[in-house]
Structure 1
Amino acid sequence: MIVHILGSIRLHPQLLPHAARNLRDRSWKCLAPARRLLHKGVPRAQEPANSAMALKRIQKELQDLGNDPPANCSAGPVGDDMFNWQATIMGPPDCPYSGGVFFLNINFPSDYPFKPPKVHFTTKIYHCNVNSNGAICLDILKDQWSPALTISKVLLSISSLLTDPNPQDPLVPEIAQVYLKDRAKHDTTAREWVQKYAT
């Protein structure tokens, strides 16, 4: 007697059509929930509910900056986009960056102030805590961020970083080594970069 194998079950030839039909019906029943989900569509992610809160906070900070701007710093939105700002920091006196004008880009997340803004230099700067992409190694822009902080305080902290670099937590270790081993050489190079890129 000739038999066929369907999976691990041995069936008589006359039973094959019936078994195949049952298998097909069961497969479609198993797939039905998935088919209904695909037909219905997966809901799109909703916009963060607190984006309106973020906008209100950003507008308040912009007003405060106008009323009481931090020393040697300014900032404001690019065009009509309140979540994208440009900032300016004047090189503090009595440091290698004195006389320089440094531009930065600030991007606020939709859940600001519960998450920190993204801030980076767009002006090239020779600094152990700022890399070639303009990224800044500053704790309050990372794990030490608090909703109580403001852009005004962030800009003042960055300005202080120009006066007092932190070679113990460098973003560019090579520059940190020069800073620690040959301060005069470090300061000379920093001034050269100011003349070349920030004036």
Structure 2
Amino acid sequence: MTRDMIRLFKVKEKQRELAENANGASHVKKQSAGELRLHKDISELNLPKSCNISFPNGKDELMNFEVTIRPDEGFYSGGTFSFTFQVAPIYPHEAPKVKCKTKVYHPNIDLEGNVCLNILREDWKPVLNINTVIYGLYHLFTEPNYEDPLNHDAAAVLRDNPKMFESNVRRAMAGGYVGQTLFPRCI
């Protein structure tokens, strides 16, 4: 392409921009590839009835959202657990950053809200999506995994004494102490 043609394209682009602004059309922010993919993922969500997604900063800020999970089976049945998602502009080439906002007694979630889920770490692949992550989080509540723990104490109790683990979960969800840790009521 010659320099004159490039200059002509730039002039045409500038004229089109000026015309749009003159007509009161607001300038649309270009979306990153990650935002476009995330928009597609969200539009195709097929969540279980026990999971809900919300956008506390409005639909204009898709890259940060919250997911609430209310398990209807297993140890955590009846509880409500909230997660924040932060999605990088290079998504899906990087997994979303997920934190649990609800303090929970769980072998795969530590007391700071860090989540141990393989697809958020070493097993992440760009073919995975937000739907997959939410189902993975839901699965942590229906099938907690003591073999890959963040909370080693909870994992040991689940492995060695499932009845005591169940009792600890119920006490924590009701807003009680497990050991030295006080948990907020989430049922």
Q: What is the TM-score of this pair, normalised by structure 1?
A: 0.70
Distance (Å, rounded) in 2 between the aligned partners of 1:100 and 1:121: 13
Q: State yes or no: 1:124 paired with 2:124.
A: no
Asked if the contact 1:92–1:159 (Cα under 8 Å) also holds between the matched residues in 2, the reply is no
Query: Match of 1:38?
Result: none
Quick check: 1:61–1:150 contact (8 Å CA) kept in 2?
A: yes
Opposite residue 162 of structure 1, the aligned amino acid is: F
Match of 2:65 among 72, 76, 85: 85
2:168 corresponds, among 182, 189, 193, to 189
Aligned pairs for 1:1-199 within 5 A: 52-65=32-45, 68-80=46-58, 81-93=61-73, 95-196=74-175, 197-199=185-187
Provide structure 1 residue ranges, at least 5 long, that are not aligned to the other structure. 1-49
Q: CA separation of 1:70/1:149 partners in 2, compared to 1, >3 Å: closer, same or farther?
A: farther
Q: Specify the alignment match of 2:27 in structure 1.
A: none
Q: How many residues align?
A: 147
Q: Computing the radius of gyration over CA atoms, which structure comes out larger, 1 or 2? A: 1
Report sequence identity in percent: 29
1:113-145 per-residue CA deviation (whole Å, 9 max, x = no partner) reads: 000000111011110110001111111000100
Structure 1 moving runs of 4+ over 4 Å: none
CA RMSD of aligned residues (A): 1.6
* In 2: Cα distance, 1:115 partner to 1:182 partner: 37
Q: TM-score normalized by structure 2?
A: 0.74
Which secondary structure state, in structure 2, belongs to the residue aligned with residue 82 of structure 1?
Answer: coil
